[in-house]
Amino acid sequence: MITPDIAILRLDAAEAQEAIRALVDILADAVAGGASVGFMEWSTPEDYRRFWAAVADEVDAGRTVLLIARLAGEIVGTAQLQLVSKPNQPHRAEIAKVLVHSQARRRGVGETLMQAAEDAARQAKRDLLVLDTDENSAARRLYARLGWTEIGTIPRYALMPDGRDCGSTFFYKSLA
C-alpha cells in the first residue's frame, strides 16, 4: 500500500547537513531494531552523525545521491544511490542504506524510495544497479516485488548489531 502523501526529496550537501539529526534518528532506530546496516548496538549518536556527515561530503563530491522520504512533513526514510566511479563501470550504481523508521513502515515508504532511486539512476545514466541486504531481511520481499534479481547469499558477510553472524543476499536490476 503506497500512501499518496509520501514526498521524496533529493538533498544537496547543505540540505544533507541540515537533515543529519533526523537521519541519525532513523539510523539509530534501524540499529536498535536489529538491522545489519554497518553499525553495532554499542554505536553512538556521534558515530551516526559522523557517518551522515561523510555521506553529505559524498553528495557534495557528486558520488552519492541522497534521498529522503517525508511523511506528514517529517523525515521518515532515506536511501542512497552510490555512483560507481571506476572507469570500466560508468553504467553501474549501488543502492545503499534504504532505511525507514519503524513508526513509518508498511506505508509504501521503502517502495517509493526504491522507485525514486531507480529514477535517479536513470537520470545519472546508470542502467545496472546492485544492492545487498541481510539474508533474513523483510526487504528481500520488497526487492523481489520490484523486479530485482536475487543472485545469492554470502554467509557471514557482516555482523548483526549484537555481534551474531549475518549473511548478505545480493541483488541486481537492469534498467536498460
pLDDT tens digits for 133-158?
A: 999 998 999 999 999 999 999 999 99
Report how far residue 142's alpha carbon sits from residue 144's, in angstroms, rounded to the nearest whole number: 5
Determine what percent of the chain is predicted with pLDDT higher than 70. 98
Tell me how far apart the alpha carbons of residues 174 and 176 are, in angstroms, rounded to a whole number.
5
Indicate if the pLDDT at residue 2 is higher than 90: no
CA distances from 88 to 85, 92, 165 (A): 8, 9, 33
What single string gives the DSSP state of each residue in 55-88?
HHHHHHTTSEEEEEEEETTEEEEEEEEEE---TT
Count, in order, helices (H) and strands (E) of the chain: 5, 7
If DSSP codes are grouped into helix, strand and coil, which group holds residue 139? helix
Residue 13: what residue type? A
Confidence of residue 118 (pLDDT cuts 50, 70, 90): very high
Contacts of residue 150, Cβ cutoff 8 Å, sequence gap at least 6: 140, 143, 144, 169, 170, 171
pTM score, whole prediction: 0.95
Residue 62 has a pLDDT of: 97
Q: Enumerate domains of the chain plus CATH numbers.
A: 6-127 (3.40.630.30)
Average pLDDT over residues 31-43: 96
Element (H, E) at 99: strand 92-100
Mean pLDDT across 124-138: 96
Confidence label for 122 from pLDDT (cuts 50, 70 and 90): very high
Kindly tell me if the per-residue pLDDT of 79 is higher than 80.
Answer: yes
